[in-house]
Chains A and B, each alone.
Chain A
């Protein structure tokens, strides 16, 4: 039992939950949060103009379009909320959280994925429906897609841990929420 406290998952060459692995993702999420908040403030008419270096009036056209106002809240503010949730889920927990808190790791992975997919969908909608591009919207989409890959390795380590708990006939429910009694029996 000497290696039970090892932070590197068994069969892995590194620990995907170190700060060096997680902080860059959190930094990307905060950058996305800043961009989305800025665009959202423009959509709420709190900021009168929006920065657009390449596509002229296109950003304004997209940010005031029907699709962007389809929900009661402007879409960029929902994006900002998504980024804030990603950053929070990225920061919670220690460097062994893939086994001590699988719930937050899996929540993190599950939130990063859809945010990226919705961003890509919005990138497609811009030229197809409105014949326009929005530089900051594209930047936000790139950020959210870049976040997916590095967030997934940690989720893989958590899912493999849960598989080992299941094979040892342990309680998946307790392992998911990080009960200490499960952690003692399975590494």
Chain B
């Protein structure tokens, strides 16, 4: 969970960074931060809960985009480039952290279409006993 909380904070930091660093007038840099930041923060917040922890993988895409954006969009500020790259690497790394799962969830989301997952076998066991 802590990994997802840090990712949420990174997303919020990305949203705030154009104002903090004074890039707010550079529309390319600030628009990208204002779009990607809320997306990263939202996925990370949803992934805080164990039942929806898999949503953390959704942040791999915006994370990877942050590594490419300075070159694709042609940032002309070193601080903005470093800021994007560091956040990108951190978001990717932290979205790979599964964290502690203490509850059990009947086999999770894949159990909706897979046969013989935890909830199905457990239901059969209960019916048999």
Q: B52's contact among A127, A131, A152, by CB below 8 Å, is which? A: A152
A7 lies within 8 A of chain B by Cβ: no
Q: Are A13 and B39 in contact (CB under 8 A)?
A: no
- Size of the B side of the interface (Cβ < 8 Å), in residues, is 41
Give the nearest-CB partner of B115 in chain A.
Answer: A167
List, in ascending order, chain B residues with CB within 8 A of A145's CB: 41-42, 45-46
Stretch of A32-40, A44-52, A60-68, A116-124 that contacts chain B: A116-124
Q: Are B52 and A148 in contact (CB under 8 A)?
A: yes
B84 lies within 8 A of chain A by Cβ: no
Q: Are B46 and A164 in contact (CB under 8 A)?
A: no
Q: B119's contact among A146, A153, A164, by CB below 8 Å, is which? A: A164
Residues of B within 8 A of A (CB): 15, 24, 30-31, 34-35, 38-39, 41-42, 45-52, 102-109, 111-113, 115, 117-123, 125-127, 129
Q: Given contacts A128-B34, A149-B51, are A187 and B127 in contact (CB under 8 A)?
A: yes
Report B6 CB to chain A, min CB distance, Å. Answer: 16
Contact with B along A157-177 (1 / 0, CB 8 A): 101100110010000000000
A153 to B48 alpha-carbon distance, docked (Å): 12
List, in ascending order, chain A residues with CB within 8 A of B121's CB: 11
A167 to B113 alpha-carbon distance, docked (Å): 10
- Size of the A side of the interface (Cβ < 8 Å), in residues, is 37
List, in ascending order, chain A residues with CB within 8 A of B109's CB: 156
Q: Are A116 and B42 in contact (CB under 8 A)?
A: yes
A128 to B33 alpha-carbon distance, docked (Å): 10
Q: Are A153 and B35 in contact (CB under 8 A)?
A: no
